[in-house]
Amino acid sequence: MEQRRVVITGIGAVTPVGSDALTSWNNIINGKSGIGPMTRVNADEFPAKVAAEVRDFNPEDFIERKDVRKMDRFTHFAVAASLMAVKDANLTIDDHNAHRVGVWIGSGIGGLETLENQFETFLQRGYRRVSPFFIPMMIPDMATGQVSIFLGAKGFNSCTVTACATGTNSIGDAFKVIERGDADVMISGGSEAPITRMSIAGFCANTALSTNPDPKTACRPFDKDRDGFVIGEGAGIVVLEELNHALNRGAHIYAEVIGYGATGDAYHITAPAPEGEGGARAMKMAIDDAGIDPTTIDYINAHGTSTEYNDKYETTAIKTIFGDHAYKMAISSTKSMTGHLLGAAGAVEAIFTVLALKEGILPPTMNLQNPDPNCDLDYVPNEARNQEITYAMSNSLGFGGHNATLVFKKYE
């Protein structure tokens, strides 16, 4: 049987750099950062002072007020981004196709804000005052659940929780669902709202967050002076579609998904494996799945968190897989502007990678002023680059040793 081909026909996003996908993209290629002073929690309580917060977003633009109150912020983002992606794809979901349209949206943390607020209510006022919606607001799969309800999508339905690899794993697994014939369309990505007191406390306690108080320079992937990631929030959603299904309805095609790799480090709960060994295997697996030569990859949207070991070992992993070609590829970390959206990061970065292919513009890595000798590749420093590319890759690496890679091809 001929392998089913999968394309992206719709994109939707809510990010710190824009409340829709194209605004986010235009700000990214213009080097505009969404990082600012932390306002969702009291920054005086923490060593970290900055965050990449979603501003100018009103969930009631997408969801009725009575339903907004029954959802956590991460679900608001997921529903909004999904509705935008489906509208962008000009996709109608009805009784004829609902069973062939699936949803696969992940979240690394889920409704942590709801958990914190409701626990406080429980401590102060007892169990009777806890919301009956507490559990369905908190659990990470509820973004998928609510999106499928909103859209009437009755097909393959799942949720991934793989920390910072969540968005990439979600899209990769949804791609495979279509490829093997279990759905014709999948609405997929990741959503996260982790700027909460306990989340910031936990990341500060394990010294993962940047303590640089200057929003302009706090996130500096691959720079010698990097000192941790900047936490962010938002969602990225893509509409994945079987090629003939898309062509038959005259859909607009952004790019083709051609490869997916996912591996485990089996090494440490938070630190990446030495030399990025697990990430290297994920990249190789994705390239092999795509059936291409490594030297055809033109661009990588790196995980690039601005932490000491991630940036160093991801660079090493790229060199391991690509050899001399590593020095001929362009690589960038858009986290330098969006911050790290944890479970949503890979999905938002997949959208940026696809738009780089379609538009022939490579996003920059901002704040790269003092190059690290261990990070000596072409990171598209400080300014976007006009360059036609044919094959691109997006990497995500998560706590627990999760590594995930997607390979995209320009659709001709």
**Rounded-to-integer distance, Cα 8 and Cα 358, Å:** 11
One-letter amino acid of 277: E
**DSSP letter assigned to residue 20:** S
- Roughly what angle, to the nearest 10 degrees, separates helices 112-125 and 197-205? 110
- Burial of residue 161, with CB atoms counted within 10 A of its CB: 0-12 exposed, 13-18 middle, 19 or more buried: buried
Residues annotated as catalytic are: 164
Phi first, then psi: what are they for 26, rounded to 5°? -60, -40
Residue 134 to residue 309: CA distance in whole angstroms:
37
Contacts of 270 (CB under 8 A, 6+ apart): 206, 208, 399
DSSP assignment of 110-156:
-SHHHHHHHHHHHHHH-GGGS-TTHHHHHSTTHHHHHHHHHHT--S-
From the list 227, 164, 188, the residue with the least C-alpha distance to 396 is 164
> Looking only at Cα atoms, what is the longest distance across the chain?
64
The residue among 190, 185, 164 whose CA lies nearest residue 175 is 185
Do 131 and 87 touch, CB atoms closer than 8 A?
no
Residue of 197, 293, 233 whose CA lies nearest to 24: 233
Listed residue (314, 311, 276, 317) closest to 294, CA to CA: 317
Task: Write out the DSSP string of 263-318.
Answer: EE--S-SSSPPGGGHHHHHHHHHHHHHHT--GGG--EEE----S-HHHHHHHHHHH
